[in-house]
Amino acid sequence: PEERAVAEKIGVFFPNQQDRGTHVNISGAGILKTAPNKDAAIQFLEFLSGPEAQAIFAQSNNEYPVLPGAEIDSLVASFGTFKEDTINAASIGRVTPDALKVMDRAGWK
């Protein structure tokens, strides 16, 4: 009962909705130049990015699917929609080494 009382006082908040949007984590996949079966690898990646696999990911991870219109978990759907940050991931990669140095100097773990 004590934990339930605490849980009833919290909610979902999507920051930065008036400007750049909320950060979203990204994952990626690729095919090696030396892959022995490139056609099968392409088909597999196409499957993973399709509606069926995206629904499985969304249901299993309690995350928003990357594919618009893919089935979404009812709990996640109850959080509502949000404006996502559209920053190019490559721009993050360019500053990551410097960011890691700052975190190391600050003692962040």
- Token pair, residue 29, equals 């996949």
* Mean pLDDT, residues 85-95 taken together: 88
pTM: 0.66
* Mean pLDDT, residues 23-38 taken together: 91
20: helix, coil or strand?
Answer: coil
Q: With bands split at pLDDT 50, 70 and 90, how would you rate the model's confidence at 19?
A: very high
Q: With bands split at pLDDT 50, 70 and 90, how would you rate the model's confidence at 32?
A: very high
> In the chain, what are the domain boundaries?
1-22+82-109, 28-79
Nearby residues of 88 by Cβ (< 8 Å), 6 or more positions away:
none
* Mean pLDDT, residues 22-33 taken together: 89
pLDDT at residue 106 is higher than 90: yes
Q: What digits encode the pLDDT tens for the residues 37-83? A: 999 999 999 999 999 999 998 888 888 888 888 888 899 999 999 99
* Interatomic CA distance for residues 78 and 34, integer angstroms: 44
17 within 8 A of 83, measured Cβ to Cβ: yes
pLDDT of residue 35: 96
* Interatomic CA distance for residues 1 and 78, integer angstroms: 23
Comparing CA positions, the residue from 85, 63, 82 lying closest to residue 72 is 63
As beta bridge partners, residue 28 has none
